[in-house]
Amino acid sequence: MRNLPPIAMLRAFEVAARHTTFTATAEELFITQSAVSHQLKNLEEMWGLQLFQRGKTLSLTPAGEALAPLVREFFNKLDTTLSDLREQNGRVRLRVNTTYSFALKWLLPRLPALARLHPEILVSLESSDKAISFAGKESDVAIRFGHGNYHALFTEFMFREQLFPVASPALLQRSGTPAEPAELMRYPLLTRDGADLVPKWGDWFKHVGVKSDVLHENVRFADTNMTIEAALLGQGVALARSGHVEKELADGTLVRLFEVPFPSPAAYYFVCPQGLETQPQILNFRRWLLHESQQAQSHYQ
């Protein structure tokens, strides 16, 4: 790092690269134009490179064009890191990765309880439906929906959802409330498309003993949240997962149809790299998750 210049020179270069004059650069830095010119000249001499073409306006040379993004990235990362450290203020950041629908419907409403119980943990919540390997170290822990076969990772079962039909009060008022499962065949059935881990309407009808060769599916949706939203709008009956409709069932915007137990074949699992599960912040988060999972599970047993 023999050619690392003083921070003031780098800052002058970064600001000058965004402007076209010494005047604008000096105004942003709160120094004189001659000071800007002096710092840039010293930087060019230190590096042995011409960074600017000077005239009525400033323009970057090819060397300046190559170096400007690197210097700008350095200042951006420094600013972000300092902001994060100030925000943490003694707390430990825990980067949690899970699916968007689970984060939105189940985890996010419960995070204030975690903050009250463990104020030392600062959760950074990320969402992804892709398999996670932790190779890039973007996340510390993850919550995944599957069958628990997460090779070479610490894996802990959380809970298994129940699946049941739900509809809006408006739809039931308009079309009537079905008295038995077979009557659902005359309703628009809302379906999530492309979700191999989530049973379809045909699976539910088979479970309750109803032949369902022809289903009245008017729309297939790309994700769980869209399916639930369509049910809320009264567009049909959705086959919902219990963890995704807790709020809607509680406030009455959706109504569960039929108290038929139908556990999901897939479940939620806590995963993290082997050996990290006993770190204090991760251990506390795991224990909290398991407590919340048991509470959620008890409502549908």
Helix (H) or strand (E) holding 170: helix 169-175
Tokens of 101: 């629908």
- Alpha carbon distance 128, 122 (integer Å): 20
- The pTM assigned to this predicted structure is 0.69
For residue 214, what pLDDT is reported?
Answer: 64
What phi, psi does 33 have (nearest 5°)?
Answer: -65, -40
User: Rounded to a whole number, what is the distance in angstroms from the first to the last CA of the chain?
Assistant: 63
Helix (H) or strand (E) holding 124: strand 121-127
pLDDT in tens, 117-155: 998 898 988 888 777 778 777 789 999 999 988 888 999
88 confidence band (pLDDT: 50, 70, 90): low
Contacts of 286 (CB under 8 A, 6+ apart): 156, 270, 277
Question: Is the pLDDT at 1 greater than 60, yes or no?
Answer: no
Comparing CA positions, the residue from 124, 128, 139, 123 lying closest to residue 101 is 128
40 confidence band (pLDDT: 50, 70, 90): very high
| One-letter identity of residue 82 | L
Tokens of 160: 């298994």
Angle 109-262-148 from CA coordinates, rounded to 5°: 65
Helix 7-18, helix 62-88: angle, nearest 10: 110
